[in-house]
């Protein structure tokens, strides 16, 4: 679990020198986010930038220091709120607010690269408690081999299981592409006695790739023939729904799959089935729905009746 380094409220006073006989003073610059504290992956966040100044009607900019996020918003007041929906690990990092206003036909900016305006999003994913089992069950004979299996119910695969002896030196880690890992303890002795616990750790990626699409038969189809179109996707987030959509037409079918592919059958094609077809994949992770881009197209062209 990552620690939160968010500065909920930060104040700093600064002045902008001008050629005018007076100074333009921008003071008590504040930046805050809601909810405060650590963020859960997929959560909505709002960031408020405010500044104490009599020169209103300026533009606030929220910038991710190392990343692509940048939003600007003009405000007639001294503050503005930016909404960041469904945060992921790509939203982690430092953020800065900047204020720009026009006074006496001149533009003035607040300092842009001041560490005092930084705060950090720390995004975590809630994982369930792993299960643990042992073979053989019960007492073990000196010198016997013991197998301990750790498993977890999650879509976030590709992580690392760690088996730890609660009071002792035994600790082993094992990366697994599935939802379980088995640890062998050969020739146990009294030093192996005690309680053991499992832990699972993984880094989540929420970017779904473009699905692949293929058709059987390939090429022209005879009127009345059956066509099979297969959609597949390379992702660890299984258990989602594939949708096959006719680009210009009424055909649309969805199919839930526990694997990374689904096959759609179009029986007895007619001229109404002609056209391009695309796949899309949608899955639900941590109570949020995520959709892939549309796949490339395959085309059905029907020849005349026999």
The 3-class secondary structure across 114-140, one letter per residue, is CHHHCEEECEECCCCCCEEEEECCCCC
Beta bridge partners of 118: none
Q: What is the pLDDT of residue 176?
A: 94
Is the model's pTM score more than 0.85? no
pLDDT in tens, 117-166: 344 555 666 788 999 999 998 888 899 999 999 999 987 788 999 999 98
Q: Which residues pair with 9 in a beta bridge?
A: none
Write the CA distances from 20 to 14, 57, 109, 198, 271, integer angstroms.
17, 20, 16, 68, 76
Output the pLDDT for position 289: 74
| Mean pLDDT taken over the chain | 80
> Between the CA atoms of 82, 85, 91 and 94, what dihedral angle is there, to the nearest 10 degrees?
20
pLDDT digits (tens, 9 = 90+) for 12-65: 333 333 334 334 445 556 777 788 776 777 788 888 888 877 778 888 888 887
Q: How far apart are CA 32 and CA 48, in angstroms?
A: 5
Give the pLDDT of residue 51.
81
Task: State residue 6's pLDDT score.
Answer: 29
Q: Are 29 and 152 in contact (CB under 8 A)?
A: no
| Number of other residues whose CB lies within 10 A of the CB of residue 232 | 19
Q: What share of the chain is helix, strand, coil (3-state, %, to 5)?
A: 5, 45, 50
């Amino acid at each position: 679990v990552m620690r939160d380094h968010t500065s909920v409220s930060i104040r700093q006073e600064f002045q902008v020198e001008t050629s005018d006989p007076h100074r333009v003073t921008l003071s008590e610059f504040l930046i805050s986010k809601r909810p405060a504290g650590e963020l859960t992956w997929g959560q909505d966040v709002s960031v408020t930038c405010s500044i104490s100044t009599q020169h209103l009607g300026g533009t606030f900019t929220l910038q991710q220091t190392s990343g692509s996020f940048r939003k600007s918003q003009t405000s007639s007041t001294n503050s503005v709120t930016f909404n960041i929906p469904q945060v992921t690990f790509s939203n982690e990092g430092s953020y800065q607010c900047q204020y720009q206003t026009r006074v006496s036909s001149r533009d003035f900016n607040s300092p842009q690269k001041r560490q005092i305006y930084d705060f950090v999003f720390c995004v975590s994913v809630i994982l369930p408690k792993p299960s643990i089992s042992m073979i053989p069950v019960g007492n073990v004979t000196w010198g016997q081999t013991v197998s301990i299996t750790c498993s977890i119910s999650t879509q976030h695969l590709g992580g690392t299981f760690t088996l730890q002896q609660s009071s002792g030196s035994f600790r082993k880690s094992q990366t697994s592409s599935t939802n379980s890992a088995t640890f062998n303890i050969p020739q146990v002795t009294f030093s192996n006695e005690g309680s053991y616990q499992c832990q699972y750790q993984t880094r989540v990626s929420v970017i779904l790739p473009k699905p692949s699409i293929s058709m059987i038969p390939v090429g022209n189809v005879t009127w009345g023939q059956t066509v099979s179109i297969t959609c597949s996707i390379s992702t660890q987030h299984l258990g989602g729904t594939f949708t096959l959509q006719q680009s210009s037409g009424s055909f649309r079918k969805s199919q839930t799959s526990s694997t990374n592919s689904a096959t759609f059958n179009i029986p007895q094609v007619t001229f109404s089935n002609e056209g391009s077809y695309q796949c899309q994949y949608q899955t639900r992770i941590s109570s949020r729905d995520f959709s892939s881009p549309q796949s490339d197209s395959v085309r059905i062209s029907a020849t005349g009746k026999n």
